Amino acid sequence: MANKVCIVGIAGGTASGKTTIVRKIKESFGDDIVVINHDSYYKAHNDLSYEDRTRLNYDHPDAFDTERMIEDVKKLKNNEEVDIPIYDFSIHNRVDATVHIIPKNVIILEGILVLENKELRDLMDIKVFVDTDADERLMRRIIRDMSERARSIESILTQYRDTVKPMHEQFIEPSKKYADIIIPRGGENLTGIGILQQHLKLMLGE
């Protein structure tokens, strides 16, 4: 008999605390959980130079190969294994390798725009939006991108002004209305995270 698979979508603005929440959920479910990042499905741009790739709008829905993600999630729901892409932020492009994913009881889909696409939303059992103040998110993004993605502060702020902020207002913030659970303040909201953990356990019959 196939295992019950629960699909959880966790969306929210850049550096809102999604990863922290995912980590805390993983602590509850251990080996029964797998996390798939929407960022892994950024489209490949082997035809463009590095300089041209740095100028792309990575916060627009068209930047993602969401159709491939939808197909992979459908397979996982059907207890089939999949191979997902790997994206390297330091070169703004996909690499040739993939990651092999085995279906688990809880599959988390994490990313800024996972609630924007209706077909992807319809595959989810729980939809979560992490709601964090814009100034706090910008500060976190600067720290993260400088330390983890080898970015200069100038490039971070230019990208934030030109694409991140307007795309948040146009696509990400409006997707909040589809959420079943909204967690304000991100990873520091232990009560909200606890409610999500308990709801997941209830759905899985634990």
pTM: 0.90
Among 118, 109, 133, which residue's Cα sits nearest to residue 14?
A: 133
Pairing of strands 33-37, 181-184: unpaired
Instruction: Tell me the C-alpha to C-alpha distance, in Å, between residue 184 and each of 22, 40, 73, 176.
Output: 15, 25, 27, 12
CATH number at residue 40: 3.40.50.300
What mean pLDDT do residues 169-173 have?
Answer: 95
Instruction: Tell me the C-alpha to C-alpha distance, in Å, between residue 157 and each of 21, 138, 143, 151, 163.
Output: 25, 9, 12, 10, 10
Place 1 in a pLDDT band, splitting at 50, 70 and 90: very low
In the chain, how many domains are there? 1
Examine residue 49 and state whether it is found in any structural domain, yes or no. Answer: yes
Examine residue 103 and state whether it is found in any structural domain, yes or no. Answer: yes
Examine residue 92 and state whether it is found in any structural domain, yes or no. Answer: yes
User: pLDDT per residue over 87-146, tens digit each?
Assistant: 998 888 999 999 999 999 899 999 999 999 999 999 999 999 999 888 999 999 899 888
Q: State the residue range of the domain holding 78.
A: 6-203
Examine residue 1 and state whether it is found in any structural domain, yes or no. Answer: no
Supply 36's token pair.
């798939």
Distance in angstroms (rounded) separating the CA atoms of residues 144 and 85: 22
Examine residue 60 and state whether it is found in any structural domain, yes or no. Answer: yes
